[in-house]
Structures are given as structure tokens and as C-alpha cells.
Amino acid sequence: MKQLAILGSTGSIGVSTLQIVAAFPDKFQVTALTAGRNIDLLVQQVRRFKPKLVAVIAEEDAERLKKILGSDGPEILCGVEGLIHCASSPQVSTVVAAIVGAAGLVPTMAAIRSGKDIALANKETLVTAGSLVIEAVREYGGRLLPVDSEHSAIFQSLEGHQSEDIRRLILTASGGPFREWPLSRLASVTPADALAHPNWDMGQKISIDSATMMNKGLEVIEARWLFDLPVERIAIHVHPESIIHSMVEYRDGAVLAQLGIPDMQTPIAYALSWPDRLPLQLEPLDLCRIGTLNFSEPDQAKFPCLGLAYAAGQAGGSAPAVMNAANEVAVEAFLDRHISFQQIPQLIEKVLEQHTVEDLTNIDQVLRADLYGRRTARDIIAGGLT
């Protein structure tokens, strides 16, 4: 039985992971849960799954949990140290890294250095510190298994094949809610418009990233590290139906794809059970009913975040960490209505223009680059983004 630590248990990936745990109690046991501020949901999860360890960010939330759960509750920790303790506990064998954003880097690295297997849903860990993460995985001997549907699809399409036979990777993208909007209409986009994803049920941050297509740019950088290919050999195809989750093109012209309904339980379950598959009770894929699958190239004039991500990935070093930090600030500012939708890429570009790229040799450098990106983005917003 696998002993799980779920980092980010109250987010969409965490909730889906716990659905799988509930369906297969003979295969998985929850040892540790961590969450942000959704204490009411966390209390429900703790009472149902009875973890031994729980961590939250804020000390006042930890005290509230202790009062609610009482003396029979689990050990309750707080802050980054609490997250690290849960991620690296000797009682844990597999860590589901599902904290949204760069905040997931430090606890995920702690889990890697403890030799855990990592079911990676936090793409920012590889975006910000890819070379250091891959080096640590090799040094400490755990396995890094992708949870993102696109990277899981590539992982499955690569199994049994040799890396030298790969011509390119093809990530598919739904195109988000604005795929068919004209460029002129994007000036009027509201947060509610951007949060209305046509195919996937996701959290706010990821939904906005999907609307700008920054999510796909981040996935290109993540794929670069997961599969050891330069970003120039990673393409994006807009595929509105979200049935083909990604593809691998081989040098003999063969293209292998993984298909399925758009439900995150499938890639989560595969990361948890690999190399086995679990009998999930999901709606079967009916290609005859769907009838047609469509593909097109992404419109980089309408979605400039894609070009920014490719450029940061090619620059390497500290550039992706700075870009990611600026994007997180931009998304928050857009949701708070401090900047417009079209100002998200403008802000990221201004931050990157001010940054001098450095090679990365340690995690402290990554954290400094992240802090630089956030401070610079906030300063630009405060000064008036035009």
C-alpha cells in the first residue's frame, strides 16, 4: 500500500486525488495533507481520510484546526517548515505535488531529496528550477511521474521507445475561452470571462493561465526538462475537443497519441499506480459520437504569453523563474482588476526586459529570481502600466 502526502489537498488536483484514494482504499493511504486557506474543506478531508500529519500556511489556521479537530486530531504544523515536514516524512512513500505556483518548489524539492516518488502536478517546480530538480531526482533516486494530462500523455506515448527516435513532442491545447474571439474583443475581457474554461474544471490561477495560453508555455518548459528535449522541438497544436492529450512524433514519421475524456482522474491515477492501471469508473470515450477532431496552430499575436514562455525557455537559467513570478503577480492583479487581460503579457515582458539572466546552481538563486520577478512586477503596476 502506498503512503501518500498530498501537497495542496484542497485544490482541484488534490480533491481528484482523494477521490481516487477513496475508490481504492486497498492501494492508497493518506499519511499527510497540506492546504492553503480552505480550512473548512481541509477539516472534512482530515475527518474522512485520517492523516497523521497536516500542515497549513498560516499559524492562525493551524490553531483553528487544532480547536476544531481536538485532541484526537493529527499532528498539525504550519508554514513552509510544516510543508517540508509533511513532504519529507519517513512515513510517506509518494508525494502528490499539487500546490499551485512557485510556492510548491521548496516542499517538492524536500520530497525529492528524501528519495520519494513524486506525482508532479506543480509544473512551476520544473519551470523555475528544472536543471536542479532533474539533478536531484537522479542523485536521490526517486521517480518523477507527470500528472499534467499533456505530460502524462507524452509519458505514455514514449513508453517502450528510445529517446533518440523522437523527432518532436506535440502538446495539445484547448485554446481556452477566447480561442474564437477576435483580438479586438480581448480588450473587454473580465475575470469572469477568463475563468469560464470550456472543457476543464480548474482553479482560478490555472484557468487564467489557460485563457492567456501561458499555461501551455509553462508546459513547454516543463516538457523540456521531463523529456530532455530543447524547446525548439516541442510544438503546440490547438485542439478544442481536448480528446488527444498530446502526441510524440518519431523520426520515421509515426505519431503516437494518448486519447481520453477530459478528466484529471486518469493522469492522476496513472501517476499513482504506474506501471499498472486502475479500473476507474469514468465515462468511456466515444469517438463515433464526437465524430471530428480539429487542430490548428496557436495565434501568437492574440496570445503573446506563448512567445514569452518560449523565449524564456530558450534563454534558460533564471529567466523562466522570473517570468513565472511576473505571471503569478499579473494573474493576481488581473483577478483583482488592477490590470487588464491584455496587460498580463505586457507586464511579464517589461519584467523580463529588466532582468539579467543568471545560470542556476542552487535553489537560493531560484528563490531570489522569483522574488525579483514579483517585486519588479509589483513596482511596475504601482508606477502605472501603460
Whether 268 is covered by a domain: the verdict is no
User: What is the pTM assigned to this prediction?
Assistant: 0.94
Indicate if the pLDDT at residue 202 is higher than 90. no
**Rounded distance, CA 121 to CA 219, Å?**
11
pLDDT digits (tens, 9 = 90+) for 243-276: 999 999 999 999 999 999 999 999 999 999 999 9
- Of the listed ranges 204-208, 217-221, 326-330, the one predicted with least confidence: 204-208
Indicate if the pLDDT at residue 324 is higher than 70. yes
| CA R_g for the chain | 20
Whether 320 is covered by a domain: the verdict is yes
Indicate if the pLDDT at residue 201 is higher than 80. no
Do 116 and 187 have their domain in common? no
Within 10 A of 49 (CB to CB), how many other CB atoms are there? 20
**Rounded distance, CA 5 to CA 87, Å?**
6
Do 302 and 322 have their domain in common? no
Single-letter residue type at 4: L
Predicted confidence at residue 261, as pLDDT, reads: 96
Whether 213 is covered by a domain: the verdict is yes
Indicate if the pLDDT at residue 227 is higher than 80. yes
Residue 255: strand, helix, or coil: strand
Predicted confidence at residue 351, as pLDDT, reads: 98
Do 288 and 332 have their domain in common? no
**Rounded distance, CA 233 to CA 230, Å?**
6
Predicted confidence at residue 384, as pLDDT, reads: 85
Could you tell me the residue range of the domain that residue 335 belongs to?
316-386
Within 10 A of 383 (CB to CB), how many other CB atoms are there? 8
**H helices present in 164-318, as ranges:** 191-195, 204-212, 214-226, 265-273, 287-290, 305-315
Predicted confidence at residue 169, as pLDDT, reads: 98
Answer for the pair 313, 221: CB distance below 8 angstroms, yes or no.
yes
pLDDT digits (tens, 9 = 90+) for 144-200: 999 999 999 999 999 999 999 999 999 999 998 999 999 999 999 999 999 986 665
**Rounded distance, CA 165 to CA 252, Å?**
8
Do 167 and 302 have their domain in common? yes
Do 139 and 10 have their domain in common? yes
How, if at all, do strands 244-250 and 255-259 pair? antiparallel
Q: What cell numbers appear for 95 in the block?
A: 508525494
Whether 269 is covered by a domain: the verdict is no
Do 257 and 224 have their domain in common? yes
Do 301 and 321 have their domain in common? no
Name 321's Cβ contacts closer than 8 Å, sequence gap at least 6.
102, 127, 128, 129, 360, 366, 369, 370, 373
Predicted confidence at residue 204, as pLDDT, reads: 87
Which one of 97, 116, 146 terminates a domain? Answer: 146
Do 50 and 71 have their domain in common? yes
Give mean pLDDT, residues 344-348: 97
Whether 127 is covered by a domain: the verdict is yes
Predicted confidence at residue 200, as pLDDT, reads: 58
Whether 372 is covered by a domain: the verdict is yes
Residue 256: strand, helix, or coil: strand
Which one of 98, 117, 146 terminates a domain? Answer: 146
Whether 352 is covered by a domain: the verdict is yes
Q: What's phi and psi for 256, nearest 5 deg?
A: -105, 135
Do 78 and 209 have their domain in common? no
**Rounded distance, CA 54 to CA 46, Å?**
8
Burial class, 77, CB count within 10 angstroms (exposed 0-12 / middle 13-18 / buried 19+): buried
Do 134 and 14 have their domain in common? yes
Query: Percent helix, strand and coil across the chain, each rounded to 5?
Result: 50, 15, 35
- Mean pLDDT, all residues of the chain: 95
Tally the domains of the chain.
Answer: 3
Do 217 and 288 have their domain in common? yes
CATH code (residue 6): 3.40.50.720
Which one of 77, 111, 146 terminates a domain? Answer: 146
Do 14 and 118 have their domain in common? yes
Whether 298 is covered by a domain: the verdict is yes
Please report which confidence band the pLDDT of residue 119 belongs to, taking 50, 70 and 90 as the band edges. very high
